Amino acid sequence: AMTPGIPIFSPMMPYGTGLTPQPIQNTNSLSILEEQQRQQQQQQQQQQQQQQQQQQQQQQQQQQQQQQQQQQQQQQQQQQQQQQAVAAAAVQQSTSQQATQGTSGQAPQLFHSQTLTTAPLPGT
């Protein structure tokens, strides 16, 4: 059944004809890379959404804290002098801002989330 003169492997044959595995490997490795990129994008989007939610929660907490501080200020103003209440409120505000700023910076997580950077090519 074999026709003489046309070997299965020949350097003159273009890629994609016969049994040359190169194009298959290229398409498979590309699809793996694409899948990884899609997963990374999804992870980044999820993390961004989580950060936005956290920021919104922090803003709400700050608003609540400010409202509480205002109530406390009014009580203190009634009981004590205004200067002491303003100084105490300034201290409370500066400490609450520092506490929320520490949790919002989550950029380094993006680098640690890439666990699989290289995948074995099929056929090797």
43-55 confidence digits (pLDDT tens): 888 888 999 999 9
pTM over 0.95: no
Please give the residue that has the higher pLDDT: either 80 or 33. Answer: 33
Other CB atoms within a 10 A radius of the CB of residue 85 amount to 19
Asked if 104 and 54 touch (Cβ cutoff 8 Å), the reply is yes
Tens-place pLDDT, residues 72-118: 878 866 776 545 546 666 666 555 444 444 444 444 455 544 555 56
